[in-house]
Amino acid sequence: MFEGISNLGSLLKQAGQLRGKMSQMTEKLKQRRAIGSAGGGMVEIEVNGLMEVLRCSIDDSLVRGGDRELLEDLVAAAMNQTILKGKQLHADVLGELTGGMQLPGLQEAMARFMGAEPGSPEGGSTPGDQPGGDAESPRPDEAPEADEPEKPEG
């Protein structure tokens, strides 16, 4: 009978420690920053580790160019890149808090969170994590970087 009370006390202690670690993780994520860009840096978006958008910067030449579609594509591409980097921040902070310890199911959960299927070669890594990869390289679904807005033919 008293074994159950002992186990309950241990469980409550662990829950308190977990709550503290989660609070610590939230604080770390508030302090971390991720910046994504597109169009050779003409569009930049900055988020904190909680994925709150802190800043969106658009080069004046894009606004003056009047190419709304290009601007929309570049903002979307920069945001996609920023989200990937923000997810990597989560993985990094979680790894710091667990001391690199491999918890059952953690790898699969992080792979799903990062947008990859568990067990896939991607494993949820960002472009800069892959051999020969460049963290600033656009993904296939992102708009290509452009130095100048495209001019309509006609």
- Is 70 exceeded by the pLDDT of residue 141? no
In the chain, how many domains are there? 1
- What does the pLDDT read at residue 3? 64
Query: Rounded to two decimals, what is the model's pTM?
Result: 0.59
Tokens of 88: 């990597």
Domain coverage including residue 87 = 25-129
Determine the number of helices (DSSP H) and then strands (DSSP E) in the chain: 4, 3
User: For residue 106, is it within any domain?
Assistant: yes
CATH number of the domain bearing residue 123: 3.30.1310.10
User: For residue 16, is it within any domain?
Assistant: no
User: For residue 50, is it within any domain?
Assistant: yes
Between 153 and 40, the more confident residue is 40
Tokens of 129: 């994590």
**DSSP sequence for 62-81:** HHHHT-HHHHHHHHHHHHHH
Residue 9: how many other CB atoms lie within 10 Å = 10
